[in-house]
Structure 1
Amino acid sequence: MSDLGLLLRKAREQRGYTLDDIQEITKIRKRYLEAIESGDYKVLPGSFYVRAFVKTYAETVGLDAEEVLRLYHKELPKAQAPEAGAPEPSYIQPKSRRVQHNDRVGKVVVTSLMWLFPILIAVVIYVYYANNKTETNKPSESTPPSLTTETALPSSAATPTPTPTATPTPTPTPPQTTVTFREKKNSRYYFDVSPAGTHQLKITFPGGKSWVGVNENNSSGKSIYGKTPEQSEELTFELGETPLYVNLGFAKGALIEIDGIAVDDEDVPGRRRFIFTVTDGAGQPATPTP
């Protein structure tokens, strides 16, 4: 096993990760991860991707990826550009398409503007003179004499009537948020949040860096967030009608709060998965208002 592989393996084991966990988080195949830990880089799809895989692995287990690459650059194979037509690993996102400008269309637009500009100036001048001519032909309107209105002074004998003061309507106090543990099923912790409405789910990292994955409904739902933030970062998400699935790679390092209420994660190392559902207070999922 190489020095770099030993470092990554120790960091992984300290956080309670298995290679299957790293594969699910990074989308890098397990056999590539095993090759990185053993130092057998020939198994990887090409030297061009070795540094990318190592960097992603290091970030996932909470290491400084740039520092790892700097310290072990001699151990890593020299990066070479991938061959044309070679398939890229599945975890790498496709490059954004470049927008190609059509020179012919641009020339047509410029030519059209050159012809329209003098016509626009002529129209503005015509409208200006037409308005001035209309204003000149209008008869001057005489200013009506100002009317002076005398204000009657109230009689000294009159007693002022007190103005009734409206009693302010008390503002109803909103119900307090409650977070209730419902059950543990298939290694997932289910929590009910009430009352119905919108709540704020906040994740901080007082105990160390952790990979965070957030999806709608469940692990296969729409992905909202998925990476390892800095320890000083604070993540906030809106919890409403759609349940939120939260996957923490290093649960002991993270703290989940809903409207300021801390969620009990048993304070144990390793991975923890949660599903938060807003209910009406009676254990029933909140339904949208028609």
Structure 2
Amino acid sequence: MLNEMGTRLKEARIAKGYSLEDLQDVTKIQKRYLAGIEEGNYSMMPGQFYVRAFIKQYADAVGLNADELLEQHKSEMPETTKEQVSKPMAAPARSRRQSMSKSSSGRINEKMPMIIVALFIVLIIFVMWFFYNMLAENDPTDEATENDDGLQYEAPSENSPPPTEEEEPAEDEAAEEQPEEEEPAEPETEISVTGTEGQTTTYQWTGPAERELVIDVSGPSWVGATDENGENLMTATTMQAGQSETLDVSEASQIRLRLGAAPNVELSLNGEPIEYQQDLTTQNIVIDFTDAE
């Protein structure tokens, strides 16, 4: 027998176009617990603490005010019990933290002399290096040895011919020799319906290898997307009016979309709109991709 709160939640779920399986995907709560909430059967819950938490998640997913709902129907809620935790249980944890703090500070104190000695050695090395560079810069023998290589410098004579310069090809000639590359033409795109079965419509897309799917939502809708291997391209979630999601599906050979409240969802692929072939609230859209040559 349904209680009043469970009835309100179920009616809100049906108004959203969600099945219990859809709501399970949105809230991550097992289907049997969701059914128990609708029936007012809280004894099957994993614990009394989870009853309020599950009801709040259910209400948020279907667009109801969870706090207001719980306050109006608090008489229907089971009484929760508070487990008492004895204070002596916390004492060992504090003592362990204190002993760890003491042991770590003791290790630091033991290593402090070694750290000071290491810093002192580094300081000595730095001072020696600094003075060595100062002496090297002021050494008068450097200038004498720079030109002392056993060679005599000969000034160029007046009659010696000027050095020849290698001729370089003109930049304009090199530019003319390079052929201009033509930009490849953008392949044409085509999308068509290949079949329908139940809530599922299958489309065939032929077009560029680089593909982007844009999902625009004009009202509360539940949307999820997977590839041909069942991997999530978009985790199933409830999108609100005005939200948009862009998916890069260039690497996928197939994409499967699950839509709740489908009339609120607009789909476009590389700017091409995808028209729904079925007037259903909950739909599955499957798109197979073929790269155009």
TM-score where L is the length of structure 1: 0.65
Question: Shift of residue 174 of structure 1?
Answer: 2.3
- Show the counterpart of 2:191: 179
Superposition deviation, residue 24 in structure 1: 4.6
Given that residues 195 and 202 in structure 2 are in contact (C-alpha distance below 8 angstroms), is that contact kept between their aligned partners in structure 1? yes
Equivalenced residue count is 244
Structure 1 SS opposite 2:209: coil
The CA distance in 2 between the partners of 1:82 and 1:275, in whole Å, is 50
Q: How does 1:132-211 map onto structure 2 within 5 Å? A: 132-137=134-139, 139-140=142-143, 169-185=181-197, 187-206=199-218, 208-211=219-222
Equivalence map 1:208-287=2 (5 Å) = 208-219=219-230, 221-222=231-232, 224-242=234-252, 243-266=254-277, 268-281=279-292
| Aligned-partner Cα distance in 1 for 2:48–2:276 | 40
CA spacing shift, 1:204–1:223, aligned 2, 3 Å: closer
User: C-alpha offsets along residues 167-200 of structure 1, whole Å, 9 cap, x if unaligned?
Assistant: 9655344224433333335743333333342211
In the other structure, the counterpart of 1:22 is: 23
Q: Deviations over 1:32-70 (max 9, x none)?
A: 222222333333222321233223323433x04xx2333
Q: Which has the higher helix share?
A: 2
For the structure 1 residues 223 and 46, does the alpha-carbon distance in structure 2 shift closer, same or farther, using more than 3 Å as the test? farther
The AA in structure 2 aligned to 1:72 is L
Q: Closer, same or farther in 2 for the Cα pair 1:267/1:181, shift >3 Å? A: closer
Q: Gapped runs of 5+ residues in structure 2?
A: 85-96, 148-171
**1-side partners of 2:289 and 2:11: how far apart?**
39
Q: For residue 11 of structure 1, what is the aligned residue in structure 2?
A: 12
CA contact (8 A) 2:209 2:292 kept: no
The 3 A distance-change label for structure 1 pair 75 and 261 is same
Distance in structure 2 (CA, Å) of the matches to 1:72 and 1:262 = 43
In the alignment, residue 127 of structure 1 is paired with which amino acid? W
Distance 2:258 2:228 in 1: 12
Distance 1:13 1:168, change over 3 A: same
| Cα distance in 2 for residues equivalent to 1:82 and 1:269 | 47
Give the direction of change, closer, same or farther, for the CA distance of 1:83–1:216 in structure 2 (3 Å limit). farther
Partner-residue secondary structure (3-state), 1:182: strand
Give yes or no for contact 1:252–1:267 (8 Å, CA) kept in 2.
Answer: no
2:73 to 64, 75, 79: 75
2:188·2:292 contact (CA, 8 Å) conserved in 1? no
Q: TM-score, length-normalised on structure 2? A: 0.65
Alpha-carbon contact 1:248-1:271 (below 8 Å) kept: yes
Structure 2 distance, partners of 1:259, 1:241, is 14
- Which residue type is aligned with residue 126 of structure 1? M
Once the two structures are superposed, residues 205-260 of structure 1 have per-residue CA deviations (whole angstroms, 9 ceiling, x without a partner) of 11x111222223254x3464222133232111110222333222221221122122
| Structure 2 partner of 1:39 | 40
Larger gyration radius, structure 1 or structure 2: 2
Query: What is the alpha-carbon distance in structure 2 between the residues aligned to residue 184 and residue 107 of structure 1?
Result: 74
Q: Which amino acid aligns with 1:216?
A: D
